[in-house]
Amino acid sequence: MSIALRGIAKQFGQFAAVENIDLDVPTGALMALLGPSGCGKTTLLRLMAGLETPDRGQVLFNGHDATRWPIRDRKVGFVFQHYALFGHMSVFENVAFGLKVKPRHERPASDQIRRKVQSLLELVQLGWTADRYPSQLSGGQRQRVALARALAIDPQVLLLDEPFGALDSQVRHELRRWLRRLHDELHFTSVFVTHDQQEALEVADSIVVLNRGRIEQFGVPGEIYDQPRSAFVHRFLGQANELPVEVSQGRARVGPLDLSDGSEALKEGNHIALVRPHEIEIGPEAAGWPARVLAVRVIGSIVRLDLCAAGRPLHEVLEAEIRRERYEAGRFGVGDQVGLRFRRWKLYAAASERSMAEST
């Protein structure tokens, strides 16, 4: 089932949670709604589910106006961050809930329900937990039960609100891959909300970046990461060093480096350059912007360096990330002078913070 939002707006008191959003979720998509807290991503998801009614605009399911449809007619599976399992019911009863509340003429026979619940529990690899109670399960197991329960009503759409937010990083990592596999096997349309850019990049096949109730950018993960359309998106997806840049006579200079990419005519005035840590190259002092190494942290296969470039205040540290082998071959340590070069960077006008590519 495809979902489309047309000019959706939702206000809570004075606070505009979602402003005039258009979005298409094609059938079979696995889409992430990504943004900082308060950006409207959860509201957007709840609007799709029917847990909120929009003040303006339309929600279309397969092209039909579903704006006023009650939740139970939408065939939507909804999974909460904190699982919301019914604590007084066993795992079996939790999963069976959606089947048992059906009106009598639609309700399957009890042995049919039993078979279906058991097969759903097998699907989430928790067949052995049927008689347990939610309080006896771990967080990851509870979330899988919640998923099995949502799948019991044969939803055509699966909506997940920060599904892995309450789990520790190891379990999270496993569940992400598992969800991806499940989605590929079962072919339903899924939308999940997250504030974790890594999660979005890893699981989703398209990402919507939201900020202050508006869509900042929509695209496939690689595209959003490599071609952010605004400084906000650039900063939000991965880390970025921020450098003030003065543009004069068509040249963008920072320290001894010339950051004019030559492709677009640069407007005069203040800009900022955003450079990701792994886009900084470190060489001998003479070969770039002179900088001093302030700190070195070895984090597994990568090494993170704090650098102070010549002409910049000491507290405005540049963060660089290089591969472990590169660091071990480079023979530099804390206090040494090195030379910096940027492999990639992006310029944004300081005032509007829109990308240059966008404004031209």
Partner 1 sequence: MADAEISGLADAGACLSVTDVACAHHPSRRRRLSRLVLIALALLFFGLFLLLPLLAIFAQALSKGVSAYLDALIDPMAWAAIKLTLLIASIAVPLNLVFGATAAWAIAKFEFRGKSVLITLIDLPFAVSPVIAGLAFILIFGAQGGLGAYLRLHHIRVIFAVPGMVLATLFVTFPFIARELIPLMQAQGKDDEETALSLGASGWQIFWRVTLPNIRFGLLYGVLICNARAMGEFGAVSVVSGHIRGLTNTMPLHVEILFSEYNYAAAFAVASLLALLALATLAGKSFLEWRQPQLRQARREPS
- Give the CA count within 13 Å in the CB-facing half-sphere of 136: 11
| Smallest distance from partner 1 to CB 319, Å | 39
Are 315 and 357 contacting, i.e. CB atoms less than 8 angstroms apart? no
Instruction: For partner 1, give the closer residue by CB, 158 or 272.
Output: 158
Q: What's the longest Cα–Cα distance across the chain?
A: 81
Binding-site ranges for partner 1 (CB under 8 A): 49, 51, 71-72, 76-78, 80, 82, 84, 86-88, 97-98, 101-102, 146, 149-150, 152-153
Residue with tokens 């540290």: 317
Which CB, 71 or 298, lies closer to partner 1?
71
Taking the complex as a whole, the smallest distance from the CB of residue 203 to partner 1 amounts, in Å, to 21
What type of residue sits at position 264?
Answer: E
* Dist CA 136 CA 91 (whole Å): 10
Closest approach of partner 1 to the CB of residue 93, in Å: 10
In angstroms, give the least distance from the CB of 287 to partner 1. Answer: 57
Judged by beta carbon, residue 35 or residue 50, the one nearer partner 1 is: 50
Q: Which helix or strand (DSSP H or E) is residue 303 part of?
A: strand 302-309
CA–CA–CA angle 192, 195, 198 (5° rounding): 85
| Smallest separation (angstroms) from partner 1 to the CB of 144 | 15
Residue 23 or 45: the one with the smaller Cβ distance to partner 1 is 45
- What are the tokens at 137? 């399960």
Pairing verdict, β 241-248 and 251-254: antiparallel
Is the Cβ of residue 159 or residue 224 nearer to partner 1 in the bound state? 159
In the numeric block, which tokens belong to residue 198? Answer: 């890594």
